[in-house]
Amino acid sequence: MSATWTVFVYGMVTALATALGAVPFAFVRTVSARVLSASNAVASGLMLGACFGLVAEGTAIGAWQTGLGGLAGVVFILATKRILDGHDLEFGEVRGAGARRMVLIVVVMTVHSIAEGVAIGASFAGGAVLATVITTAIAVHNVPEGLAISAVLRPQGASLGACAWWSFFSSLPQPIVAVPAFLFVDAFAPALPYGMGFAAVAMVFMVLVELLPEAYEEGNRANVGVLVSLSLIAMVAFQRLL
Amino acid sequence: MMPWMMVVLAASAAAGATALGILPLRSGRPASRWMAWSSALAGGLMIAASFALVESVPRSTTLQMALGAVAGIGVLHLARVAIGARDIRLHQLDAVTDTYGRNVLRVGMIHAAAEGAAIGAAMAQDIAFGVFVAVALALHNVPEGTLLGAVLQARGASLQRAAVLGVAANSGQVILALGTYLALLRWPAGLALLLGFAAGALVYLVLVDLLPDAYEGAGAKSIALTVVLALWTFGLLHGVLRG
């Protein structure tokens, strides 16, 4: 197998791992307001925790580049929201605000995977051992990301299969971007801190503008507070221990 | 200056910043939109502070940090339940019953306690880092002072009295900051645990008090932009100072 294929296959494995995030939702059948609120809270915590890691890594390479990437992240979400608001969206059976939220989380998580694809490709340029470590880490850390996506999609009425598929889909940029990032690592590596800043701010903004308001509306603030902060800490610890 | 004096000074300055929050009240009560945006700004600063606390913990002690964070979330949650303020909303400036006023003060004291632990633990890690955290928390105390002042003013208190009460409610953070700092001098192995405790406590307070109040007073988009602005600014500053 040529090196390029290896990179692609590794990237594909990390993408498939994301689909595992749908598994816990096999056990969630009834979707009450409480489940909706709790799911949004957990998704918010996981995404905020992921941002802690992204910002720490990004600023370790270059603080200003990460900051610039972050500004682009805000503009991106505002623009995407504006485009989505202008259309009567359908996502499977769902329409209206629920559908917008579903599309937005898939878009945000898909775009944020691009930075992870660059990280996979660039790590292969650093040798096979490093590549295996980084790929495994990204694959494992994709699982809670799939969980976050499924936590938003499932309570709105998406099927289990749809949750798994869109989780997987959101990570497809990883194999696709990993290959050119590996082949032209010198050109791609400097883009990493921008990408990390972009991904982090886009996720925080998405959490703040869509997920948290709905979590508070559908549940009580004490429960939301506990769930978000616990899942945030769990994500941070999980990423640091990998 | 002895390091412990630095701790007292920084924590006192952070507590004193509460009085600055009274100033806007001189020209009448601020609109609820402004209160909402201040809460969002304060929330962003607190999340940024907890990010800095988490990142200051070495990877090798991540588990202790996580345990501490879970304890921080648990203790604060129980404290809120214990004072009967589980679902209190802090922006009800017209609901000026005795119970409400007392609860706002008590919740303010819980906030101050968490902030004190944060400043003390950060100082024990590194004095300059402690100052950074204290500045973030001092800035967050300003809008907290405005809120407290508005509630007290609605109950007929003079602005001077409101300022004194506000600083007094926050003065617990000086004692907790010093206590945490001195405890960590004797027990350095507890650093990761206490940094985690403070980080978890701060994040919990943002999510249970500051953000829900913020969303009630202004649109989600403007709240999100305000929080992101605070996070972005302090995240960048943190990165630049560290780099």
Residue A37 CA: distances (Å) to CA of A32, A59, A166, B216, B242: 9, 33, 21, 17, 37
Contact call for A233 and B204, based on CB within 8 A: no
Residue A184 CA: distances (Å) to CA of A4, A6, A110, A188, B100: 11, 16, 22, 6, 62
Written as six digits, the tokens of A20 are 């595992």
Q: Are A175 and A116 in contact (CB under 8 A)?
A: no
Contact call for A59 and B51, based on CB within 8 A: no
CB-based burial of residue A35 (10 Å sphere; 0-12 exposed, 13-18 middle, 19+ buried)?
middle
Q: Mean pLDDT across the stretch A79-87? A: 82
Out of A216, A222, A232, the one facing B215 most closely (by C-beta) is A216
Q: Does B221 touch chain A (CB under 8 A)?
A: yes
Q: Mean pLDDT across the stretch A190-215? A: 89
Q: Are A66 and A58 in contact (CB under 8 A)?
A: yes
Residue B9 CA: distances (Å) to CA of B3, B110, B131: 10, 20, 10
**So what's the pLDDT on residue A138?**
81
Chain A CB contacts of B63 below 8 Å: 237, 241
Chain A CB contacts of B67 below 8 Å: none
Written as six digits, the tokens of A105 are 């989380």
Of chain A, the percentage scoring pLDDT greater than 90 comes to 29
Q: Does B29 touch chain A (CB under 8 A)?
A: no
Out of B69, B215, B235, the one facing A59 most closely (by C-beta) is B235
Tally Cβ neighbours within 10 Å of residue B42: 32
Give the closest-approach CA distance of A219 to chain B in angstroms: 11
Out of A55, A67, A226, the one facing B77 most closely (by C-beta) is A226
Gyration radius from chain B CA atoms: 17
**So what's the pLDDT on residue A135?**
81
Contacts of B38 (CB under 8 A, 6+ apart): B30, B142, B143, B146, B147
| Bridge partners (DSSP) listed for residue B113 | none
**So what's the pLDDT on residue B93?**
65
Q: Does B224 touch chain A (CB under 8 A)?
A: yes
Chain A CB contacts of B223 below 8 Å: 208-209
Give the closest-approach CA distance of B242 to chain A in angstroms: 8
**So what's the pLDDT on residue B231?**
94
Contact call for B240 and A221, based on CB within 8 A: no
Q: Are A177 and A114 in contact (CB under 8 A)?
A: yes
Mean pLDDT by 10 residues, chain B (243 residues): 88 90 83 87 92 93 96 94 76 68 80 91 91 88 84 82 85 92 93 95 93 93 95 91 76
Query: What confidence tens digit (pLDDT) does each residue in A106-130 have?
Result: 988 888 888 888 878 877 776 777 7
Contact call for B228 and A204, based on CB within 8 A: yes
**Pick from A16-25, A87-96, A176-185, B66-75: least confident:** A87-96
DSSP A219: S
Please provide the average confidence, as pLDDT, over all residues in chain A.
Answer: 86
Give the closest-approach CA distance of A1 to chain B in angstroms: 36
Query: A-side interface with B, Cβ within 8 Å?
Result: 48, 52, 55-56, 58-60, 62-64, 66-67, 70-71, 74, 81, 201, 204-205, 208-210, 212-213, 216, 220-222, 224-226, 228-230, 232-234, 236-237, 240-241
Chain B CB contacts of A63 below 8 Å: 236, 239-240, 242-243
The most confident of the ranges A59-63, A97-101, B158-162 is A59-63
Give the model's confidence band at A228: pLDDT under 50 very low, under 70 low, under 90 confident, else very high: very high
Chain A CB contacts of B220 below 8 Å: 208-210, 213
Q: Does B92 touch chain A (CB under 8 A)?
A: no
Residue A153 CA: distances (Å) to CA of A162, A170, A205, B191: 8, 13, 18, 40
Domain count, chain B: 1
Question: What's the ipTM?
Answer: 0.91
The phi, psi pair for B221, rounded to 5°, reads: -65, -45
Q: Mean pLDDT across the stretch A146-152? A: 89
Written as six digits, the tokens of B243 are 């780099």
Contact call for A204 and B73, based on CB within 8 A: no
Better-scored residue on pLDDT, B94 or A174: A174
Sign of CA dihedral A60, B39, B131, B105: negative
Per residue, what are the HEC states of chain B?
Answer: CCHHHHHHHHHHHHHHHHHHCCHHHHHCCCCHHHHHHHHHHHHHHHHHHHHHHHHCCCHHHHHHHHHHHHHHHHHHHHHHHHCCCCCCCCCCCCCCCHHHHHHHHHHHHHHHHHHHHHHHHHHHHCHHHHHHHHHHHHHHHHHHHHHHHHHHHHCCCCHHHHHHHHHHHHCHHHHHHHHHHHHHHHCHHHHHHHHHHHHHHHHHHHHHHHHHHHHHHCCHHHHHHHHHHHHHHHHHHHHHHHC
Chain B CB contacts of A198 below 8 Å: none
Tell me the three state secondary structure of residue A32: coil
Q: In B, residues 157-196, which contact A (CB 8 Å cutoff)?
A: 196
Q: Does B48 touch chain A (CB under 8 A)?
A: no
Q: Does B4 touch chain A (CB under 8 A)?
A: no
Written as six digits, the tokens of B106 are 């008590």
Domain map (residue ranges) of chain A? 3-21+32-241
Nearest-CA neighbor of A24 among A212, A155, A203? A155
Give the model's confidence band at A144: pLDDT under 50 very low, under 70 low, under 90 confident, else very high: confident
Residue B113 CA: distances (Å) to CA of A59, B75, B99: 30, 11, 21
Q: Would the pLDDT of A217 be above 80?
A: yes
Give the closest-approach CA distance of B159 to chain A in angstroms: 31
Q: Would the pLDDT of A97 be above 90?
A: no
Q: Would the pLDDT of A169 be above 90?
A: yes
Q: Are A150 and A163 in contact (CB under 8 A)?
A: yes
User: Domain range holding B223?
Assistant: 3-21+29-242
The phi, psi pair for A94, rounded to 5°, reads: -90, 145
**So what's the pLDDT on residue B23?**
87
